[in-house]
Structure 1
């Protein structure tokens, strides 16, 4: 928190849980805590020791770059919206192809203090501050690009990074920066559904 800001500026109210970051001279250590009620462990998937076999996966008729080297923790999003088609819950003929109504997969790296808010409320465009490629929610089809925007955090004696895995509504975003960035104009058209964690 900055000295000149009030609690209201940070949307801190009587029922807000505050997590503290210990800062030490010469660096900082962040201890990351996520509300367990936001998670859906049944859909977790561990890509940590997996590598690409050269196959092309499609989601929302767009190439899906699986988060190899990361562990995905699922967010509780099933039945959160009008229907679940955006998640691709219809039966796939093969795991490589898209299904009708499915949204595209993207990734978003952010500061750790934003994680609980994004996991609970989704992306809120009115909280955005920097819009290099125009106003919108920024994400990327490449988890390594997203990781470059993610802060490190400390958990059980190890340093990690966390990146959100999202679904983006097809044709509701523009592609910029040589295809590495998606800009979604409406925050209702991008939905986080997982957290990808990697030891660094």
Structure 2
């Protein structure tokens, strides 16, 4: 497993919080982090300036862009003025990470080998190091969603800045039933450049995720890293977009913050923190 401090920095960079460790109970789970990352991008897309999240408080949606290439410090460090204004949270490392399922893809080259998850292609994150998150037996039902069989959920990658600014619209197969006139609006977006796909974006292609990922310089070792979340996505909640390498979890117009969070939580489940040294 990569250095614990480095993992905390990566979570800090993704979430915009100061993330530290504790031996006690933690209010945040791996699911909360994918919620925060997805909701940050969605609400920023909607023109909002802050995200309120239980157990964290108020998160600025502008702060991440101003500080694109540095991570907030771990809580053991002395923060500067701007960093001291960030929300601070702590996680229990033993409850949060699952080292048994860590995997080093840094020297792996799959070539033409095809892997499947839920009978859909799984593009493994070759070139990255995966820190496994403890999510087994954390959801209702069973762990089939996390497996390799036909009942497993497909793999997606969530990257910072991967949102509606991509100018991606839904295809005919992904038209939300509760938004009349969606086709006309989508067609208009082809010429105007507007985005009509409201929600959380992710991709099955790690190379595309890398283009939009968060980059931070570690205070642990002075090196620069890219960070991405590796997830499973509910195939019944996912909408395929015009581009085959982009998926959308649609959030209907009029959804309140609680409903929006519930939609993301029912649709995207994280299971790996991916790091790649530059």
Give the equivalent residue in structure 1 for 2:122.
64
What pairs up with 1:90-169 in 2 under 5 angstroms?
98-110=148-160, 132-155=195-218, 156-169=221-234
Q: Does 1:195 align with 2:273?
A: yes
Q: Does the CA-based 8 Å contact 1:32-1:154 persist in structure 2?
A: no
C-alpha change, 1:58 and 1:197, in structure 2 (3 Å) is: same
Question: Structure 1 residue 76: deviation in Å?
Answer: 1.2
Higher strand share: 1
Question: Structure 1 residue 150: deviation in Å?
Answer: 1.5
CA displacement 1:99-118 (0-9 Å, x = unmatched)? 1320000101026xxxxxxx
How far apart are the structure 2 equivalents of 1:162 and 1:78? 22
CA displacement 1:131-168 (0-9 Å, x = unmatched)? 93512221101112112222211221110011010101
Max Rg structure: 2
How far apart are the structure 2 equivalents of 1:29 and 1:147? 17
Task: Please give the TM-score of this superposition, normalised by the length of structure 2.
Answer: 0.51
How far apart are the structure 1 equivalents of 2:107 and 2:126? 7
> Which of 120, 125, 137 is matched with 1:79 structurally?
137
Higher helix share: 2
How far apart are the structure 1 equivalents of 2:197 and 2:56? 34
RMSD over aligned CA atoms reads 3.1
**How many residues end up aligned between the 2 structures?**
161
Give the equivalent residue in structure 2 for 1:124.
none
**Superposition misfits of 4+ residues, deviation over 3 angstroms:** 9-16, 31-35
Residue 145 of structure 1 aligns to a residue whose secondary structure is helix
How far apart are the structure 1 equivalents of 2:134 and 2:55? 25
Q: Does the CA-based 8 Å contact 2:238-2:247 persist in structure 1?
A: yes
